[in-house]
Amino acid sequence: MQTNIPLAERLRPKSLDEYIGQEHLVGKEGVFRRFIETGNVPSFILWGPPGVGKTTLAKLVAHALGRPLFTLSAVNSGVKEVREVIEKAKAQRFFNTPSPFLFIDEIHRFNKSQQDSLLGAVEQGTITLIGATTENPSFEVISPLLSRCQVYVLKPMNETELDTLLQRAVREDSLLREHGVKIEQTAALFTFSGGDARKLLNILDILSNATEGEITINDAQVTDCLQQNIALYDKNGEQHYDVISAFIKSVRGSDPNAAIYYLARMLAGGEDVKFIARRLAILAAEDIGLANPNALLMANAAFDIVHKIGMPEARIPLAEATIYLATSPKSNSAYLAIDQALGLVNHDTTNRPVPLHIRNAPTKLMRSLDYGKDYKYAHSFAGNFTDQEFMPAGLEGKRLYTPGDNPKEREIAQRMAQLWRNKYEE
């Protein structure tokens, strides 16, 4: 028996009981169970990597509640399509009936004006919005819209969940049963899947299409089959997360050749250039940092110009920034320092008062209480420095920033040693 329907679609769950993974959302105490039990569903955004069930969750909620579900893809929809759907939703509402759902896939690809067009309908309850995104909605969804939505985070599937999905596919899919499936090894299958349910099922589709009789699943067979069918495997761009990971690690690892290769892979696959530019800006701060402060300026300039010019010209500043960052010295000292400081602040049960001498004293009362008393203005001293205590009591000498081992930060370390002597030594 042959079918053009992908295995991922043939096995799409029809109820929450068939849904695999995301136990924190769909388990017995999960919020999605409550949605279906009560019928009270707020607008919400599902944030997670590809293939973890965002679209499926939206469909399950709408189906279980018997409410209309309109679907748009942000890749090929604009303000016109949004307004048309909102008008259809208005036409379907009668008296106090619950609002229809509007599911927008890849909502992070909507620009500000497109997102603005949703605000009134969400605010007035004309629609209940369900957005799906692989990007952090804090950066990609405008604040007025985000404030009207709950955000639920979906996680990649673990090996146990992938194995459950594999067993279900082998047991329930008629086409796989017709072939017969022999499972010898799963390491390569789960590795290539990368926590992505759809990717695992697509691999099974590839194995099925490449096999006449019984399908054998072992590491060698999976690897060989994917290498021979790489175009099919990439047809939906599902390796983008693998490629962006390789891109970031190549830049971090100071390999400009690999970095530019993976940049080309992303551009050829239609990756959002703003996403790439944003990742470069994050990388410049996190992985290069104080070893070369100009890296952040370069990344920010690339981010700005990419927003202005778009493709195909955006490939050039992206390439320039990629090569510059890849060949730059590296340091994650600022990243480590702020995480250490946040860890200290979040776990410090003492509400440590700021030392009086460095408090602001804008009023007479504050001055009478010794706010700002004995503060030493650094610029009044030689070298614009004088030794005084800035840390709260109990944290004197606590070291949070350790300069990295690179020329720029060795200069910083030398200057700090000259100023503070042995105060901040470990």
The CATH number of whichever domain residue 71 belongs to comes to 3.40.50.300
Last residue of a domain, one of 301, 327, 353: 327
Report if residue 318 sits inside a domain.
yes
Looking at the domain assignment, is residue 305 inside a domain?
yes
State the total domains in the chain.
4
- The answer to whether the Cα torsion of 24, 25, 26, 29 is positive or negative is positive
Do 253 and 205 share a structural domain? no
Last residue of a domain, one of 309, 327, 345: 327
Overall pTM surpassing 0.85 (yes/no): no
Q: Which of 135-139, 170-174, 220-224, 295-299 has the highest mean pLDDT?
A: 295-299
Residues 110 and 28 in one domain: yes
The SS3 of residue 43 is coil
CB atoms within 10 A of CB 29: 8
176 lies in the same domain as 269: no
3-state secondary structure of 361: coil
H or E element: which one contains 216? strand 215-217
- The dihedrals phi and psi of 171, each to the nearest 5 degrees, come to -80, -35
Residue type present at position 393: A
In a domain, 10, yes or no: no
CA-CA distance, 356 to 350, in Å (whole number)?
17
Find the domain containing 344 and state its range: 336-420
CB contact at 8 A, 111 and 310: no
| Residue % of the chain over a pLDDT of 70 | 95
Q: Do 265 and 283 have their domain in common? A: yes
Residue 7 lies in a domain: no
pLDDT at 248: 92
Tell me the sheet residues that pair with 400: none
Q: 56 and 139 share a domain?
A: yes
Q: Are residues 204 and 90 in the same domain?
A: no
In a shared domain, residues 244 and 226 = no
Per-residue exposure over 48-62, b if at least 16 CB sit within 10 Å of its own CB, e if not: bbbbbbbbbbbbbbb
Domain containing residue 357: CATH number: 1.10.3710.10
CATH number at residue 274: 1.20.272.10
Q: Name the DSSP class of 100.
A: P
Name the residue type at position 187: A
| Residue 222 located in a structural domain | yes
| pLDDT for the residue 110 | 86
Both 211 and 254 in one domain: the answer is no
Tell me the pLDDT tens digit for each residue of 171-194.
Answer: 999 889 888 999 999 998 988 888
Band (pLDDT 50/70/90 cuts) for residue 310 is confident
Query: Per the domain annotation, does 426 fall within a domain?
Result: no
The predicted model gives 281-290 an average pLDDT of 94
Residue 73 has pLDDT above 80, yes or no: yes
Q: Is residue 9 part of a domain?
A: no
6 domain-assigned:
no
Residue 188 is part of a domain; what is its CATH number?
A: 1.10.8
| Residue 240's pLDDT band (cuts 50, 70, 90) | low
- 220 and 178 together in one domain: yes
Q: Same domain for 68 and 130?
A: yes
Q: What DSSP designation does 97 have? A: P
Per-residue pLDDT tens for 324-373?
999 999 999 998 999 888 888 888 767 788 888 888 888 888 888 888 88
Do residue 43 and residue 86 come from a single domain? yes
**Chosen domain end from 182, 211, 233:** 233
Query: Does 42 share its domain with 141?
Result: yes
pLDDT digits (tens, 9 = 90+) for 83-109: 888 888 888 776 677 889 999 998 988
